[in-house]
Amino acid sequence: MATLIIETVSKNVMKVCLTDAQVAAQNIQPDSYGPVYTKITIDDAEALAMCRSKKVVANISAANEVTYEDLEMNDDISQPKTIINQEDFDSSVSEVTSIINTLLKVRPTNAMAAEVTAYKDALAGIDSGAITYPVANSFEGYIESLGIAPLHPLQIP
């Protein structure tokens, strides 16, 4: 099972962790769980869909029951995570790279440092000018189609 980390009061999603190692890498102090953050166990398939930008959390009930909303990836350019052009792709790379750079600056010895560095290096090796746009897929889905294990921003500590 995967773990969703939310803010206890607002119910805002903070992180999606596919493994216990990813939960530990978040460096959240155990005494922060409860008053500040809440861990919710969710289905692996739902978590993976969130990490591939195919689903979002629609609602978290008072009892911490999670409902999801599907994000359809199609030719409709109004879909939020479909890659429309090179600027969209480069923007997604920039967003992820910025999060990784912040992690590595603030916590260079984080348990996920090697994994996120390898991902950042893999992203840097992609020639966004050679991609045929639009790509009817999410950024993470496209990265995965290249044989690279993607990391959604919600997975990066």
Structure confidence by residue, pLDDT tens digits, 4-24: 999 999 999 999 999 999 999
The number of distinct structural domains making up the chain is 2
Q: DSSP letter at 26?
A: T
Residue where one domain finishes, among candidates 50, 70, 90? 70
Interatomic CA distance for residues 24 and 142, integer angstroms: 28
Domain extent for 24: 2-70
* CB neighbours of residue 39 within 10 Å: 17
Average model confidence (pLDDT) across the chain: 88
Of 4, 20, 22, nearest in space to 12 by CA: 4
Determine, yes or no, domain membership for 99.
Answer: yes
Determine, yes or no, domain membership for 42.
Answer: yes
pLDDT digits (tens, 9 = 90+) for 99-146: 999 999 999 999 999 999 999 999 999 999 999 998 878 888 899 999
33 pLDDT more than 50? yes
**Packing angle between helix 113-124 and helix 86-106, nearest 10 degrees?**
150
80 pLDDT more than 60? no
95 in the same domain as 46? no
Instruction: Give the sign of the dihedral formed by CA 113, CA 121, CA 94, CA 44.
Output: negative
Q: Which residues, at least 6 apart from 75, have a Cβ–Cβ distance to it below 8 Å?
A: 134, 136
Of 147, 144, 131, 153, nearest in space to 16 by CA: 153
The structure tokens listed for 135 are 């790509």
pLDDT digits (tens, 9 = 90+) for 49-58: 888 877 888 8
